[in-house]
Chains A and B, each alone.
Chain A
Amino acid sequence: MSVGSRTGEFPHVPLHVILLIYVVVTLYPLLWVFTIGFSGQQGLMIVDIPANATFLDRLRAIMPWPAHFSFSNFTSVFTEQPFARWLLNSVIVATATTILGVFLACTAAYAFSRFRFPGRRAGLMSFLVSQMFPGTLMLIPLYIIIVQWLGLGSNFIGLILVYSITGIPFCVWMLKGYFDTIPRELEESALMDGASAATIFYRIVLPLAKPAVAVTALFSFMTAWNEFIQAATFMDKANMYTAPVGLRFFVGGFSQQWGYFAAGAIVTAIPIVVLFLFLQKYLVSGLTAGAVKG
């Protein structure tokens, strides 16, 4: 296979052909949603096709390019629909989740990486096992705890707590893997110089672990930004919807407002995609470090 290409003997042209085919596969759905978003209509069709359509008519209908460019879907989703409010809700929830989630995961992962204490193995294993808990099993009890016991229904705090805490196991495992790769000698020499444990953690370990912390933050943010089952369950007031719940509102059930959906989806997805691409070099190193050390 392509391994041999390390010697340069494998021709590049067929590789490019394969890659370009896959580029089309990857990009088509994304271009399609852009097309619908900029079409200014609510329908699924890119262009209207005549009753006895020819090959070319059909070909035009699958080309991801709108018949007329229009920003009307974008303007009306923010003015006629309460999408701005939903987006703001998502920003608040996702930002707070990131801060809280990263704090919780960093402290715990540091302890799991650096200290040997009774319960360490059990704690790590229980984190792993908790990843297998089916979401539906948790949803009803979580609803009872968050809404009925803590009274946090339709409240940012409830959603933030749930998101940041359910993300802990993954973040801790990943961060721990990275912390394990940081040489202990650094901390030991700092200790010799009289630094306190907190100083070592905040001034030495965290800065060194920046890539992993960035990945953790990204992961927390993405979880909160993209989640919708729990948000739909806990946020039953329409003005407290998060963006995903709002987007489903456009095309769920009998609603067929594909234009609003596409415009909203583009606005919602762009920041997360940009953030993702910006941080992806950390993502690879963080994930492989975590995964390899496992």
Chain B
Amino acid sequence: MSQKPPHRRRFAVGLVAALVVGVGLSQWALVRARAKENHARAERVALVSLNALVEMVARAGGAGEATRRAVTAFARESSALTAIRVVAFDGLSLEASTAYADTGDRAAPRRLAREEKPLYDQGQRLRAAIETNRQEGAARKEEIEVVPSASGGLALAAPLEKDGSVVGLVAVETSPLPPAPRTGWLFPIVVLLVAVAVFWAAAIAVGERRGALALFALVVLVVAMFAVGRHANTMVAADVRSSESAVAAAVVAEEARAANVVQEASLGDARLLHPAAWDADHFRRPLGIVGADGKLDEARRAGEMGRIAASTARVLGSFAVLALAVLVWVGFGFASRLGATLRKHRQAYAYTFPALFGMLLLVFLPFLYGVVLSFSDMSLYTSQAPIGDLFTKLWVGLKNFTDILGDFHVATSTAAGLVWNYQNIYWTLGITIIWTVTNVAYGVGMGLFLALILNTKGLLGRPYYRVIFILPWAMPNYITALIWKGMFHQQFGVFNQIIQMFGGTPVSWFEKTSTSLFACIATNAWLSVPFMMVISLGALQSISADLYEAARVDGATRWQQFRSITLPSLKPALVPAVILSVIWTFNMFNIIYLVSAGEPGHSTEILITQAYKFAFEQYRYGYAAAYSVVIFAILLAYGIWQNKVTKATEGI
């Protein structure tokens, strides 16, 4: 460090960075919130008109001349909605339309054309949604669809009900939405400049005292964020208030228009309309803020304002924490230390950057995402949901894990004996352990055995044996798996031919857990020997012959030589190979998946194939992710234990 610590400069830079982050993010959030409110306002106003229209059409019976009169009258009275279309499911007919395309020989009433099927489908979707919601007594599926229209407005569709069942739909479009309000950048910039000026003035007075500087910077940052927050809250609240007024005005206006339409189309008594229900959400539940007379419910509105303030505080609070982190990071010199490190080792980082970046994007990021998934109940139906939903709507906490690990019903005892629950993780774990231990033990034993034989001096044809023995390793393992599956075929497979050759009865290999697992292990054993053999052989060949010479001179027996020379020399090569082999076998997806496919009844699944089935046969992504996290935890525990035991990673 230099004699004069650069605290003041660091804190100033840190404060500027923190303010840019905090104030900038707040401003960005404000712009977004206002645009959203602008959109929501247009949507609510459009919904008021649509709900009024639907009520009118329903009164007119949803079909026939009365409906057409009502729609025509409504269209003349209200210019907010264009392209009104009324579809009746009965007869697939377009009952009324003010759309430009539906004039001349395409004028209503007529049958829907083939290319208008999406319209019909939309109606059926809404019907299904309403039925689902009624059955579940919940508001889960939207009963009104709102999507952007081609002309920059909104396209809305509402169901048409008659005697409690959905008989058609009303689809409308709005004129293009008003542009989002402009949000000035003057205020945040002034806040930023003032904050920096105040801090600098104070910093000159204080000098290079780190504690005081940190405190000042903190206070300035908090005050600035508070100012920005108040400003944002005021603007959003004003927007919301003007939305409420706009909706209230729309309700009053629609009510007046509806009265005219009711009279003109002779639809009964105008006083029996329900304008209080027109300002509603997508589940057709009245919001209840705007009353029938256009008056606002002040208590509800106050509650609404409180909620807005709270959410603003929450969002800006998180930005403030982020800004504070930046301030601390820069102010206390962490940033400059990092910069110095990067500069000092720039060559090393340049060499490793491409690999590390790729690993971050395609290995560690997916891993983290998978871990997040494991706390959600994401399934095929919710797989398109935005990431934010994982932490809110789809979040189930530890439920997946308690479901998986807390289920101890491994077996039920019945009159016929124990009935195993093959979907239980403890059963699958047991199978996985049997699978892994058997395969690795056989691989090491057979590999070492063959290697010792092949290492015999002067043995004829050693290279040829070696090449032949390596073949199973060279073969793609999915091909091996499919070949063995064919050889274990119950009717035509080679193994059953051999059994029959000696007078036995053919075995249905994949109808019993034991034989099915045997078939898988036999396949994997065949292909896992060469790896161990090659590793052992390589290590054996590197043992100096002098060692054996010396041992023989000292009178050591063959067994003593093996124990004291061969095994210790093999250890450095074999231990990492065994660790790798355990992990590979534990995760050996292809063999189980292709040979037994878990038959019979998922009893021969290992953990990894079971997780795959949960994900891609039952489409329970969240559950499958949690299952995979459990697998990972098991492997990690194994790795740590193994590392402790062998210190295999010594000396990196």
- Whether B453 and A135, one on each chain, are in contact in the complex, defined by CB atoms closer than 8 angstroms, is no
Among the stretches A71-79, A109-117, A186-194, A206-214, the one at the interface with B is A109-117
- Whether A161 and B639, one on each chain, are in contact in the complex, defined by CB atoms closer than 8 angstroms, is no
Question: Is there a chain A Cβ closer than 8 Å to B615's Cβ?
Answer: yes
Question: Is there a chain B Cβ closer than 8 Å to A272's Cβ?
Answer: yes
Residues of A within 8 A of B652 (CB): 121, 124, 294
Query: Which of these, A12, A132, A138, contacts B635 with CB under 8 Å?
Result: A132
Question: Is there a chain A Cβ closer than 8 Å to B325's Cβ?
Answer: no
B142 to chain A, nearest CB (A): 23
Question: Is there a chain A Cβ closer than 8 Å to B180's Cβ?
Answer: no
- Whether B471 and A27, one on each chain, are in contact in the complex, defined by CB atoms closer than 8 angstroms, is yes
- Whether B359 and A130, one on each chain, are in contact in the complex, defined by CB atoms closer than 8 angstroms, is yes
Q: Chain B residue with minimal CB distance to A288?
A: B538
* A 120-140 to B, binary, CB cutoff 8 A, 1 in contact else 0: 110111111111111111111
A121 to chain B, nearest CB (A): 7
- Whether B365 and A141, one on each chain, are in contact in the complex, defined by CB atoms closer than 8 angstroms, is yes
Residues of A within 8 A of B573 (CB): 288, 291-292
Q: Chain B residue with minimal CB distance to A277?
A: B467
Query: Which of these, A26, A29, A115, A288, contacts B483 with CB under 8 Å?
Result: A29
A3 to chain B, nearest CB (A): 5
Residues of B within 8 A of A128 (CB): 639, 649
- Whether B624 and A288, one on each chain, are in contact in the complex, defined by CB atoms closer than 8 angstroms, is no
- Whether A269 and B475, one on each chain, are in contact in the complex, defined by CB atoms closer than 8 angstroms, is yes
- Whether A30 and B459, one on each chain, are in contact in the complex, defined by CB atoms closer than 8 angstroms, is no
Question: Is there a chain A Cβ closer than 8 Å to B612's Cβ?
Answer: yes
* Count, chain A residues at interface, CB 8 A: 106
A27 to chain B, nearest CB (A): 7
Among the stretches B25-33, B84-92, B103-111, B491-499, the one at the interface with A is B491-499
CA A91 to CA B102, docked complex, whole Å: 55
Residues of B within 8 A of A133 (CB): 363, 367, 632
* B 120-143 to A, binary, CB cutoff 8 A, 1 in contact else 0: 000000000000000000000000
Most chain B CB within 10 A, of A49, A61, A107, A111, is at A111
Question: Is there a chain A Cβ closer than 8 Å to B3's Cβ?
Answer: no
- Whether B624 and A29, one on each chain, are in contact in the complex, defined by CB atoms closer than 8 angstroms, is no
- Whether B482 and A23, one on each chain, are in contact in the complex, defined by CB atoms closer than 8 angstroms, is no
CA A126 to CA B347, docked complex, whole Å: 21
- Whether A137 and B545, one on each chain, are in contact in the complex, defined by CB atoms closer than 8 angstroms, is no
Question: Is there a chain A Cβ closer than 8 Å to B212's Cβ?
Answer: no
Among the stretches B44-52, B158-166, B558-566, the one at the interface with A is B558-566
Question: Is there a chain A Cβ closer than 8 Å to B351's Cβ?
Answer: yes
CA A43 to CA B465, docked complex, whole Å: 32
Question: Is there a chain B Cβ closer than 8 Å to A235's Cβ?
Answer: no
- Whether B478 and A58, one on each chain, are in contact in the complex, defined by CB atoms closer than 8 angstroms, is no
- Whether B611 and A45, one on each chain, are in contact in the complex, defined by CB atoms closer than 8 angstroms, is no
Residues of A within 8 A of B288 (CB): none
Question: Is there a chain B Cβ closer than 8 Å to A217's Cβ?
Answer: no
Question: Is there a chain B Cβ closer than 8 Å to A254's Cβ?
Answer: no
* A 221-239 to B, binary, CB cutoff 8 A, 1 in contact else 0: 0100110110000000000
Question: Are A138 and B367 CB-contacts (below 8 A) given A29-B526, A288-B535?
Answer: yes
- Whether A285 and B538, one on each chain, are in contact in the complex, defined by CB atoms closer than 8 angstroms, is yes
Query: Which of these, A132, A273, A276, A280, contacts B632 with CB under 8 Å?
Result: A132
Residues of A within 8 A of B501 (CB): 55, 58-59, 62
A145 to chain B, nearest CB (A): 6
- Whether B476 and A225, one on each chain, are in contact in the complex, defined by CB atoms closer than 8 angstroms, is yes
- Whether B611 and A134, one on each chain, are in contact in the complex, defined by CB atoms closer than 8 angstroms, is yes
Query: Which of these, A15, A45, A110, contacts B453 with CB under 8 Å?
Result: A15
Question: Is there a chain A Cβ closer than 8 Å to B477's Cβ?
Answer: yes
Q: Chain B residue with minimal CB distance to A232?
A: B616
Most chain A CB within 10 A, of B355, B465, B501, is at B355
CA A95 to CA B498, docked complex, whole Å: 42
Question: Are A280 and B611 CB-contacts (below 8 A) given A29-B526, A110-B351, A112-B352?
Answer: no
CA A247 to CA B460, docked complex, whole Å: 39
- Whether A4 and B561, one on each chain, are in contact in the complex, defined by CB atoms closer than 8 angstroms, is yes
Question: Are A165 and B624 CB-contacts (below 8 A) given A121-B652, A294-B649?
Answer: no
A21 to chain B, nearest CB (A): 11
Question: Is there a chain A Cβ closer than 8 Å to B514's Cβ?
Answer: no
Interface residues of A in 258-294 (CB under 8 A from B): 258, 261, 265, 268-269, 272-273, 276-277, 280, 283-285, 287-288, 291-294
Question: Is there a chain A Cβ closer than 8 Å to B512's Cβ?
Answer: no
CA A269 to CA B475, docked complex, whole Å: 6
- Whether B453 and A123, one on each chain, are in contact in the complex, defined by CB atoms closer than 8 angstroms, is no
- Whether A107 and B355, one on each chain, are in contact in the complex, defined by CB atoms closer than 8 angstroms, is yes
Q: Chain B residue with minimal CB distance to A139?
A: B615
Query: Which of these, B467, B566, B589, B621, contacts A135 with CB under 8 Å?
Result: B589
B143 to chain A, nearest CB (A): 28
- Whether A137 and B497, one on each chain, are in contact in the complex, defined by CB atoms closer than 8 angstroms, is no
- Whether B478 and A277, one on each chain, are in contact in the complex, defined by CB atoms closer than 8 angstroms, is no
Question: Is there a chain B Cβ closer than 8 Å to A168's Cβ?
Answer: yes
Residues of A within 8 A of B271 (CB): none
Question: Are A134 and B494 CB-contacts (below 8 A) given A30-B475, A110-B351, A142-B362?
Answer: no
CA A60 to CA B266, docked complex, whole Å: 93
- Whether B370 and A273, one on each chain, are in contact in the complex, defined by CB atoms closer than 8 angstroms, is no
Residues of A within 8 A of B483 (CB): 29, 32-33, 265
Question: Is there a chain A Cβ closer than 8 Å to B520's Cβ?
Answer: no
- Whether A244 and B478, one on each chain, are in contact in the complex, defined by CB atoms closer than 8 angstroms, is yes
- Whether B456 and A287, one on each chain, are in contact in the complex, defined by CB atoms closer than 8 angstroms, is no
Q: Chain B residue with minimal CB distance to A110?
A: B351
Question: Is there a chain B Cβ closer than 8 Å to A67's Cβ?
Answer: no
A69 to chain B, nearest CB (A): 20
CA A93 to CA B356, docked complex, whole Å: 22
- Whether A137 and B629, one on each chain, are in contact in the complex, defined by CB atoms closer than 8 angstroms, is yes
CA A117 to CA B501, docked complex, whole Å: 66
Interface residues of B in 235-256 (CB under 8 A from A): none
Question: Is there a chain B Cβ closer than 8 Å to A53's Cβ?
Answer: yes
CA A136 to CA B471, docked complex, whole Å: 28
- Whether A8 and B358, one on each chain, are in contact in the complex, defined by CB atoms closer than 8 angstroms, is no
Question: Is there a chain B Cβ closer than 8 Å to A51's Cβ?
Answer: no
CA A124 to CA B267, docked complex, whole Å: 79
Residues of B within 8 A of A105 (CB): 355
- Whether B478 and A272, one on each chain, are in contact in the complex, defined by CB atoms closer than 8 angstroms, is no
* B 346-384 to A, binary, CB cutoff 8 A, 1 in contact else 0: 011101101110110111111101110100000000010
Question: Is there a chain A Cβ closer than 8 Å to B631's Cβ?
Answer: yes
Question: Are A117 and B534 CB-contacts (below 8 A) given A172-B355, A247-B479?
Answer: no
Q: Chain B residue with minimal CB distance to A115?
A: B348
B346 to chain A, nearest CB (A): 9
A289 to chain B, nearest CB (A): 9
Query: Which of these, A62, A141, A225, contacts B494 with CB under 8 Å?
Result: A62
B502 to chain A, nearest CB (A): 8
Question: Is there a chain A Cβ closer than 8 Å to B450's Cβ?
Answer: yes
- Whether B367 and A137, one on each chain, are in contact in the complex, defined by CB atoms closer than 8 angstroms, is yes
Question: Is there a chain A Cβ closer than 8 Å to B283's Cβ?
Answer: no
- Whether A8 and B475, one on each chain, are in contact in the complex, defined by CB atoms closer than 8 angstroms, is no
Question: Are A1 and B479 CB-contacts (below 8 A) given A126-B364, A130-B359?
Answer: no
- Whether B608 and A134, one on each chain, are in contact in the complex, defined by CB atoms closer than 8 angstroms, is yes
- Whether B366 and A294, one on each chain, are in contact in the complex, defined by CB atoms closer than 8 angstroms, is no
Most chain A CB within 10 A, of B383, B450, B474, is at B474
Q: Chain B residue with minimal CB distance to A140?
A: B621
Q: Chain A residue with minimal CB distance to B540?
A: A3
Question: Is there a chain A Cβ closer than 8 Å to B537's Cβ?
Answer: yes
- Whether B354 and A108, one on each chain, are in contact in the complex, defined by CB atoms closer than 8 angstroms, is yes
Question: Is there a chain B Cβ closer than 8 Å to A162's Cβ?
Answer: yes
| 7 examples of A-B residue contacts, CB within 8 angstroms | A10-B456, A12-B458, A43-B492, A115-B351, A137-B628, A161-B358, A265-B482
Q: Which 3 A-B pairs have the closest CB atoms?
A: A137-B628, A111-B351, A141-B366
Given contacts A103-B354, A130-B359, A132-B639, list 4 more A-B pairs with CB under 8 A.
Answer: A7-B552, A61-B494, A288-B539, A294-B576
